[in-house]
Amino acid sequence: MKTFMLEASEDSPLVYLNADNGELVLRGRSYMEDTVPFQKPIIDWLRNYIQKPRPYNSFKIELDYINSASHQMILGIIAELNKYFILGKNFEVIWTYQREDEYMEDLAQEMKEMFDLPIKEMVLA
């Protein structure tokens, strides 16, 4: 399985999905209006990857800003990972945000309440 990467653009984050080490990264700013064309290849990659995943897999979310459409997209990706976690695959989410960013902190709490998979917060100074 190949590593999948999308470079960050003006309105979308960097995506890095590494099949060799089980590291999935979403980094940057996301304020796309139509997230379906962006989300679909990520979900497709995950569905292929889950056939032979690494023993440990982390999804690192390092976003400075997201709009409501991107919020829904991230919920969709985490929901997909949550299905795999429930089936016994070892996934966790690492949600990184700046200490003063109450919005991103609230989103981390929302995710923890909604999903079974572990969601760890990493607060930056």
Strands, E assignment, the chain: 4-6, 14-18, 23-30, 57-66, 91-98, 119-124
In this prediction, what percent of the chain has a pLDDT beyond 90? 98
Work out the number of other CB atoms within 10 angstroms of the CB of residue 44: 11
- Model pTM score: 0.92
Residue 38 corresponds to which tokens in the numbers above? 């962006």
pLDDT for the residue numbered 125: 81
Whether the per-residue pLDDT at 1 is higher than 90: the answer is: no
Whether the per-residue pLDDT at 21 is higher than 90: the answer is: yes
| pLDDT digits 0-9 by tens, 29-79 | 999 999 999 999 999 999 999 999 999 999 999 999 999 999 999 999 999
